[in-house]
Amino acid sequence: MNQADKSSGGNTIWIVDDDSYILKLFGFLLSKHRISNRCFESAEELLAAPWDDSVGYVITDLRLPGKNGDELCELLKKRHPGLQIILLTTQVTPEERKAFTAIGFDNVFLKPFTEEELLTLLNDQESELRFPLLDALIEDESEKAEILQQFTEETTHDLILLKEHIRKNGVEQTTLIVHRLAGRLAQFSQEELSAALREMEHSLRTDPQLARHSDELQRLQVEIEAFLDKIPLANR
């Protein structure tokens, strides 16, 4: 984990979950990678603890005994505006992710998770978003911002179309949009997401039964939404 401090604090992570197994798993994985952490079984327990200025992140479950994760998020954001708060939950739809972002959560982390996914989450939280392919083509910052704005608008529109065609069981149109998104995201240096979209495109052409791909299509939509949320835009 990057050792540079965040404006809200440092690199210590506090985790809130009423499942002792999940807390033990987090504690083990974070300690394994020498990441300072502390676990709490309720929002009230965390709020009662003396504040540690080294805390840069709080990962919290949504459903908790007493105060829920959204209430905890609201309270912590008021007390520590720069604090990064990550929601820990199961599968979410793009609409639910938007709702969680509107509440104040900075990111969403899905259960079940792997060690690699946890480390990727933390690295993504600390890494400045970069577009090396775009940087190589365009040097002017205002032109780059314009391209990013257009990318965001077109991708958002494609996600709306994708959802509509999936609902109508339009496999051909769905496949075309997945193909388009794969190429666009590759141009913006999202190689893993682009590869997953290309794999989905191949799967749709091989087996054009949309119902069999619904879970993976939803997961891809959530990942694209999460990427868009990271892009700083003046018109957002």
Boundary (domain end) residue, out of 126, 160, 178? 126
Are residues 155 and 75 located together in one domain of the fold?
no
Q: With 50 as the cut, is the pLDDT of residue 89 above it?
A: yes
- The band of 180, judged by pLDDT with boundaries at 50, 70 and 90, is very high
Per cent of the chain over pLDDT 90 is: 56
Position 235 in a domain:
no
Question: Residue 161's pLDDT is what?
Answer: 96
Give the residue with greater pLDDT, 144 vs 63: 63
The mean predicted confidence, pLDDT, of the chain is 87
Boundary (domain end) residue, out of 76, 105, 126? 126
- The band of 129, judged by pLDDT with boundaries at 50, 70 and 90, is low
pTM score of the predicted model: 0.57
Mean pLDDT over residues 119-144, rounded? 73
Position 115 in a domain:
yes
224 burial (CB, 10 Å; 0-12 / 13-18 / 19+) is: buried
Are residues 138 and 46 located together in one domain of the fold?
no
Q: With 90 as the cut, is the pLDDT of residue 91 above it?
A: no
Q: With 80 as the cut, is the pLDDT of residue 233 above it?
A: no
- The band of 3, judged by pLDDT with boundaries at 50, 70 and 90, is very low
- Number of domains composing the chain: 2
- The band of 68, judged by pLDDT with boundaries at 50, 70 and 90, is very high
Question: Residue 78's pLDDT is what?
Answer: 92
Are residues 101 and 116 located together in one domain of the fold?
yes
- The band of 234, judged by pLDDT with boundaries at 50, 70 and 90, is very low
- The band of 6, judged by pLDDT with boundaries at 50, 70 and 90, is very low
Full residue range of the structural domain in which residue 48 is found:
12-126
- The answer to whether residues 77 and 69 touch, using CB atoms and an 8 Å cutoff, is no
Question: Residue 5's pLDDT is what?
Answer: 36
Are residues 107 and 137 located together in one domain of the fold?
no
Question: Residue 188's pLDDT is what?
Answer: 84
Boundary (domain end) residue, out of 126, 143, 159? 126
Are residues 78 and 104 located together in one domain of the fold?
yes
Residue 5 CB neighbours (<10 A): 12
Are residues 40 and 89 located together in one domain of the fold?
yes
Are residues 16 and 122 located together in one domain of the fold?
yes
Question: Residue 232's pLDDT is what?
Answer: 65
214 burial (CB, 10 Å; 0-12 / 13-18 / 19+) is: exposed
From the list 96, 119, 87, 89, the residue with the least C-alpha distance to 222 is 96
Alpha-carbon distance values, 43 to 15, 81, 86, 118, 228 (Å) = 10, 17, 14, 21, 30
Position 2 in a domain:
no
